[in-house]
A and B are shown apart, each in its own frame.
Chain A
Amino acid sequence: MKFLFYGILCLISQTIHSQINTICIYQISPIEHNYNITNADDDVTKNTKKMLLNAFDIAKDLDYILKYNSLESTSQIDESLVNEGIKNNYLYPVAKSLIGKGIYYQNRKEKIVLRQAEILGSLFIIKDVLVNDWKITTEQKKIGNYLCFKAFKNCDTCSKIEEVWFTPDIPVPFGPLGYGGLPGLIVEIKNKGSILKLKEIKYTKKDLKIVRPIKGKEITIDEYNEMTKGFRANAKKMSN
């Protein structure tokens, strides 16, 4: 009888969460000790660490918004409330890049992830497939009111992130920065130098319009990697 009760409760929770449109707000924080200056650091490293910490001062006040309905999601930095003074700061592009530039779009049915971003002055849509290559662990912790489980990408080279924490309490396969495919909302993403964490969650009964990005030249993730590799190589030649 007890089992039946929890089963029904779980089913109701799942139905509510999958039908209600949701807006999640995330914020970034640096893993400070990663940027501590040591005696072994050369001038380039020292300056880079200082620059990144100053950029984090801007980044940690920026909201990163994830919106989803039952089928699609988009996520991006909310720049609507950022004042012109901050936008004109020369470290603002660094701050945005620490979180994640561009608009990410996911479609569960088509199993795709798109990222619309301006790269070297041109607008692109980088297309990737939604691959479920997560390794879910039994490690758990509470984040806010949610019981979360740790997961990581099941290959050494496929991701820049170290780990994510998702909650089956909100059983939707979405997350920020185009990550998803887990049996629950991604609440926290950790990489080497920062943590992007869920700050607030808003449910709305209004129909949430998820806009699929269409402007920009469509390229695959492999083409994107080749393009950026070429740019790095050119920059190295110029610096020599």
Chain B
Amino acid sequence: MKKIILSMVFVFATVGFTNATNEIDNNKPSTVSYVYPDCWAGANAAEIYSCGSVGCNFDLWAAVYSACSGQ
């Protein structure tokens, strides 16, 4: 009986710790992933919101495309 209770405590503690770690990680910008299927549209949107039109900042376009596609 003691062994069963100890095992359960161990399992709950591990799950709790893992969840807490995930929460902390999710708050870091570096671990947030923005990979989505239409990177071309995403890169275009980035230009529109940052400098007003598609074609206004190719470096940003390429950087967002690359970050999105994971290349």
Binding site for B on A (CB under 8 A): 34-35, 43-45, 47-52, 54-55, 57-58, 85, 89-91, 93-94, 96-98, 100-102, 117, 119-120, 160-162, 191-194, 225, 228-229, 231-232, 235-236, 238-239
Contact A34 B49 (CB under 8 A): yes
Contact B34 A93 (CB under 8 A): no
Residues 29-60 of B, flagged 1 when their CB comes within 8 A of A and 0 if not, give: 11010101011111101100111110111111
Contact A160 B64 (CB under 8 A): no
Contact A48 B67 (CB under 8 A): no
Contact B46 A90 (CB under 8 A): no
Q: Is B63 an interface residue (CB 8 A)?
A: yes
Listed by A's residue number, 21 A-B pairs whose Cβ atoms lie within 8 Å are A44-B36, A44-B42, A48-B46, A48-B49, A49-B45, A49-B49, A50-B32, A51-B34, A52-B49, A90-B30, A91-B29, A97-B57, A97-B59, A97-B63, A101-B59, A160-B57, A192-B49, A232-B55, A232-B58, A236-B40, A239-B41
Task: Say whether, besides A54-B29, A239-B39, A97 and B60 are in contact (CB < 8 Å).
Answer: yes
C-alpha gap A58/B34 in the complex (Å):
16
Name the one of A96, A101, A193 contacting B50, with C-beta atoms under 8 angstroms.
A193
Please indicate the chain A residues that have their CB under 8 angstroms from the CB of B14 in the complex.
Answer: none
Contact B40 A235 (CB under 8 A): yes
Identify which of B36, B38, B45 gathers the most chain A CB atoms within 10 Å of its CB: B45
Identify which of B30, B45, B50, B63 gathers the most chain A CB atoms within 10 Å of its CB: B50
CB distance from B45 to the nearest CB of A (A): 4
Task: Say whether, besides A91-B29, A228-B58, A231-B62, A44 and B38 are in contact (CB < 8 Å).
Answer: yes
Contact A51 B50 (CB under 8 A): no
A-B CB proximity, top 8 nearest: A160-B56, A97-B60, A193-B50, A54-B29, A239-B40, A192-B52, A228-B58, A97-B59
CB distance from A125 to the nearest CB of B (A): 15
Please indicate the chain B residues that have their CB under 8 angstroms from the CB of A52 in the complex.
Answer: 46, 49-50, 64
Chain A residue with Cβ nearest B30: A89
Contact A93 B32 (CB under 8 A): no
Contacts A51-B64, A239-B38 known; list 12 others, CB within 8 Å. A47-B68, A49-B45, A49-B49, A51-B46, A58-B29, A90-B67, A91-B67, A97-B59, A98-B60, A161-B51, A193-B51, A239-B41
